[in-house]
Chains A and B, each alone.
Chain A
Amino acid sequence: MLRSIRPAIVMVALFTLLLGLAYPLAVTGVAQAVFPDQANGSLIRNADGQVIGSALIGQPFAGAAYLHPRPSAAGDGYDAAGSSGSNLGPLNADLAARVAEEARNIRAEDGPGAIAADAVTASASGLDPDISPAYARLQAARIAAARGVPVQEVQNVIDQHTDGALLGFIGQPHVNVLLTNRALDARVPAS
């Protein structure tokens, strides 16, 4: 083993230069040149060029005129510098209490319709940008009332921002909350 110490040191040093600097910097260079939008976080800007978020990262919405996201366990909610799930076990009393409270709040806001499972559960990342089409549908009436427009108009915007499963079976249908809310503001201004 002692005879191997010198080659070990040299190999670790050389590989650190190759794999730890040259490789990631080369990938960064190519990605920044060819896919700058994706490489920098698929950022969304408003008309003034101000960054309002990322198409990939959820953010909190509480207003009645907006689609609400899922519960989040990242920091105080949607902390994009500290991703986290709740990690509560399926029988944990805290989980049952939180789910029940979320369900009560949703029923108070959106009426007695069927609540989708994603509406009352925290995502793995705490940054889930999406909700299920069923949860979006449940919220459409409230949003339409807040904006003083027919429900169908809101539902149309939601439908336009609903993505199906890839090839019909890979992943799940989902509605991007931030993109939908941005489109709602642009197309159905709150009265």
Chain B
Amino acid sequence: MTIQGWGEIALTLGLSVLIGWPLGIYLSRVWNGERTWLDPVLRPVEGVFYKASGVDPTRSQGWLGYAGALLAFNLVGFLALYALLRLQGGLPLNPQGFGGLSPHLAFNTAVSFVTNTNWQSYGGETTMSTLTQMAGLTVQNFLSAATGAAIAAALARAFVANRGEGVGNFWADMTRTTLYLLLPASLILALVLAGLGVVQSLSASVAAMGMEGGQQTLSLFPTASQLAIKQLGVNGGGIFNVNSAHPFENPSALTNLITAISINVLGWAAFFAFGRSVLAKKDVRALVVAAFVLLAACAAGLYAAESQPAPALVAAGIQQPVNMEGKEVRFGVPSSVAWAVQTTGASNGSVNSMHASYMPLSGGLQMFLMQLGEILPGGIGSGLAIMVVMAMLAVFVAGLMVGRTPEYLGKKIEAREIQFAMVAVLVLPLAILGFGAVAAVFPTALAGLLNPGPHGLSEILYAYTSAAANNGSAFAGLTANAPWWNTTLGLGMLLGRFAPAVAVLAIAGSLVAKPKLAPSAGTLPTHGPLFVGLLIGVILILGGLQFFPALALGPIVEHFQMLAGPAGV
């Protein structure tokens, strides 16, 4: 560990919050339909979208209508992407000449991109045509992010309303978030990255004759345009097999810093947007502090764990046995750790280093970050929504202790809200531990593992954690492109995405009808250090304890194996 390394990690984490702040204020204006400086260009475009689809953007929907629109939109998006993946062999813009995908891979991939997971059971440069990358994957990178943001917009309205009815219009929230925020931000970022060396080409590849005479085929893609929204939309599905470790997707320390920061910028922005919309800036500041404290603690733990001597290198007599397996020289350990924390704290899942080759406790911390529910800060809006659910559970626990009906942001939190809140937070362990337990004893599933022993269990656990938490990163030793894995991981992603989404919208529907209360002497303040501590406690108990036994059998036992003896167990 070095001062420089700590500095780089702190800079990456800190700048994403700082840049997220003004963008959050802007996002709040977009949700509220206020004037923005892009109006002259985008208002007409927005109007065309509503007109063509027969939508009245001013009509506020009840929570069921809102959820129905959200599900219909995602269903159609899934079907369109599935068809594209199956049929790509016969479609244009396929200079690579790739055929269509198998049904289970197409199912997995379509679900993966629609649910904002972006798990890759495939190697991008060996599977996906240029048309698929652009018109399929890039599109869902935008739309799944906008879907997540819409959930937060609806939740914000529920807290604002005083005996209201509707939670807003899904079509307007989704369209406005895409047009006013995601598209312009991606356009700028894509051009910056292209200037810094990220490729952007419609050709399939270039042939090179190496200096020692070997032939090399360099795969190209329209990479910068997808990379920008992959990061900003907290998606994470790379153009290439190795994602942002690929030098064409992440050529330098500078592109690495920019893209690592952009993973979490809009996730934090959703927090600040919620705070401005609900007029609860102090309370949201407490949520940001709680999330940041947890994220920073995990970052420190990960950096410390990853700076331990690597057993295989010690055994071979390497003097400075830094764990460089699965890491790029231009990044080294600190840049890799900073990225790993950003990508697993959010529901991003892009990688600039191979998580499978991290030290045992580092891999465990990556899983732990995802298992907390992808709320540090999570996907745009989807992370904030679950964080608000955690805050509601925290005031509920406090209310039980003092015997008062809890309130949060001026709304009474009662049985109905808590029931849906439990659905939202319990789906994750159900999907992860349920599927994981079956896979651990099912021979067909076990055939996909690369590493033996506890690291093999970690591959299973990581895969279902990543899928259900809609992260998408992997212990990539797992050969996931097989019917069992593609199907069950796909189901895990669907559960992990839509069950919490509907539960949060149900909470919004319940809250919107309640009167907005002024704080009284008996109201638990939800902006001070006491509440931050309580919230962190609830998050750790819910996220941490549920998964501790499983983690103990994977990364933790592997850590003790490492301490116990020479490499090569």
Q: Is B552 an interface residue (CB 8 A)?
A: no
A81-118 interface code vs B (CB 8 A; 1 in, 0 out): 11111111111110111011011000000000011111
Q: Is the CB of A50 within 8 A of B209?
A: yes
The 14 sampled A-B contact pairs (Cβ below 8 Å) are: A3-B68, A4-B73, A15-B178, A24-B222, A30-B194, A41-B248, A43-B218, A52-B208, A66-B211, A95-B357, A103-B316, A125-B240, A130-B329, A170-B254
A109-139 interface code vs B (CB 8 A; 1 in, 0 out): 0000011111011111111111110000000
Q: Is A156 an interface residue (CB 8 A)?
A: no
A80-B211 in contact given A99-B315, A131-B329 (Cβ < 8 Å): no
A126 to B243, CA, bound (A): 12
Which of A23, A43, A115, A124 gathers most chain B CB within 10 Å?
A124
Q: Is the CB of A124 within 8 A of B139?
A: no
Q: Which of B8, B69, B352, B569 contacts A7 (CB 8 A)?
A: B69
Interface residue ranges of B170-229 to A (CB < 8 Å): 171, 174-175, 178, 183, 186-187, 190-191, 194-203, 205-212, 214, 216-220, 222, 224-226
Interface residue ranges of B213-263 to A (CB < 8 Å): 214, 216-220, 222, 224-226, 240-242, 245-248, 251-254, 256-257
Q: Is the CB of B356 within 8 A of A28?
A: no
Nearest B residue to A124 via CB reads B245
Which of A19, A130, A182 gathers most chain B CB within 10 Å?
A19
Residues from chain A with a CB closer than 8 A to the CB of B216 are 53, 57, 59, 78, 80
Q: Is the CB of A11 within 8 A of B329?
A: no
Given contacts A20-B135, A40-B199, 19 further A-B contacts (CB under 8 A): A3-B68, A4-B69, A8-B69, A8-B72, A11-B174, A14-B49, A28-B200, A38-B198, A39-B200, A51-B209, A54-B247, A54-B248, A85-B354, A90-B357, A124-B327, A124-B353, A125-B240, A130-B328, A171-B331
Which of B175, B207, B326 gathers most chain A CB within 10 Å?
B326
Q: Is the CB of A7 within 8 A of B194?
A: no
Residues from chain B with a CB closer than 8 A to the CB of A152 are none
B119-155 interface code vs A (CB 8 A; 1 in, 0 out): 0000101100000001110110011000000000000
Residues from chain B with a CB closer than 8 A to the CB of A116 are 318, 320
Residues from chain A with a CB closer than 8 A to the CB of B71 are 1, 4
Selecting from B99-107, B448-456, B508-516, the interface stretch reads B448-456
Residues from chain A with a CB closer than 8 A to the CB of B332 are 171-172
A63 to B455, CA, bound (A): 37
Q: Is B317 an interface residue (CB 8 A)?
A: yes
Q: Which of A10, A90, A127 contacts B310 (CB 8 A)?
A: A90
Q: Is the CB of B136 within 8 A of A20?
A: yes
Residues from chain A with a CB closer than 8 A to the CB of B212 are 59-63, 66
Residues from chain A with a CB closer than 8 A to the CB of B562 are 90-91
Q: Is the CB of B197 within 8 A of A38?
A: yes
Interface residue ranges of B246-294 to A (CB < 8 Å): 246-248, 251-254, 256-257
Nearest B residue to A54 via CB reads B218
> A134 → chain B, closest Cβ, in Å?
8
Q: Is A141 an interface residue (CB 8 A)?
A: no
> B324 → chain A, closest Cβ, in Å?
4
A154-191 interface code vs B (CB 8 A; 1 in, 0 out): 00000000000110111110100010011001000000
Q: Is B58 an interface residue (CB 8 A)?
A: no
Residues from chain B with a CB closer than 8 A to the CB of A83 are 123, 125, 240-242, 245-246
Residues from chain A with a CB closer than 8 A to the CB of B178 are 15, 19
Q: What total of A-B pairs shows CB separation below 8 Å?
A: 403
Residues from chain B with a CB closer than 8 A to the CB of A171 are 8, 252-254, 256-257, 330-332, 335
Nearest A residue to B245 via CB reads A124
A19-B138 in contact given A54-B218, A59-B210, A85-B326 (Cβ < 8 Å): yes
A8-B328 in contact given A99-B315, A166-B253 (Cβ < 8 Å): no
Q: Is B520 an interface residue (CB 8 A)?
A: no
A58-82 interface code vs B (CB 8 A; 1 in, 0 out): 1111110010001000000011111
B430-455 interface code vs A (CB 8 A; 1 in, 0 out): 00000000000000000000111101
A42 to B323, CA, bound (A): 29
A58 to B251, CA, bound (A): 12
Residues from chain B with a CB closer than 8 A to the CB of A82 are 123, 125-126, 241
Interface residue ranges of B366-424 to A (CB < 8 Å): none
Q: Is A47 an interface residue (CB 8 A)?
A: no
Q: Is B60 an interface residue (CB 8 A)?
A: no
Q: Is the CB of B125 within 8 A of A43?
A: no
Residues from chain A with a CB closer than 8 A to the CB of B322 are 117
Query: Which residues of A does B touch, CB under 8 Å?
Result: 1-12, 14-16, 18-21, 23-28, 30-32, 34-35, 38-43, 50-54, 56-63, 66, 70, 78-93, 95-97, 99-100, 102-103, 114-118, 120-132, 165-166, 168-172, 174, 178, 181-182, 185
Q: Is B321 an interface residue (CB 8 A)?
A: yes
Residues from chain A with a CB closer than 8 A to the CB of B248 are 41, 54, 56-57
Residues from chain A with a CB closer than 8 A to the CB of B561 are 91
Residues from chain A with a CB closer than 8 A to the CB of B196 are 38
Q: Is the CB of B49 within 8 A of A40?
A: no
Q: Is the CB of B210 within 8 A of A60?
A: yes
By Cβ-Cβ distance, the 6 closest A-B pairs, closest first, are A171-B253, A20-B135, A172-B332, A124-B245, A89-B455, A1-B68
Selecting from B75-83, B159-167, B493-501, B534-542, the interface stretch reads B75-83
Q: Which of B208, B310, B351 contacts A124 (CB 8 A)?
A: B351
Q: Which of B175, B241, B477 contacts A11 (CB 8 A)?
A: B175
Q: Which of B218, B222, B451 contacts A81 (CB 8 A)?
A: B218
Residues from chain B with a CB closer than 8 A to the CB of A7 are 53-55, 69, 72-73, 171
Q: Is the CB of B225 within 8 A of A27?
A: yes
Q: Is the CB of B138 within 8 A of A24?
A: yes
Residues from chain B with a CB closer than 8 A to the CB of A87 are 326, 354, 356-357, 450-451, 475-477
Residues from chain A with a CB closer than 8 A to the CB of B194 are 27, 30-31, 35, 38-39
Residues from chain B with a CB closer than 8 A to the CB of A131 are 329
A124-B220 in contact given A1-B68, A20-B134, A88-B451 (Cβ < 8 Å): no
A90-B360 in contact given A16-B135, A43-B208 (Cβ < 8 Å): yes
Nearest A residue to B309 via CB reads A117
Residues from chain B with a CB closer than 8 A to the CB of A178 are 211
B26-70 interface code vs A (CB 8 A; 1 in, 0 out): 000000000000000000000011001111000000000100110
A123-B245 in contact given A4-B69, A24-B226, A81-B125 (Cβ < 8 Å): yes
A165 to B326, CA, bound (A): 20
Residues from chain A with a CB closer than 8 A to the CB of B87 are none
Q: Is B358 an interface residue (CB 8 A)?
A: yes
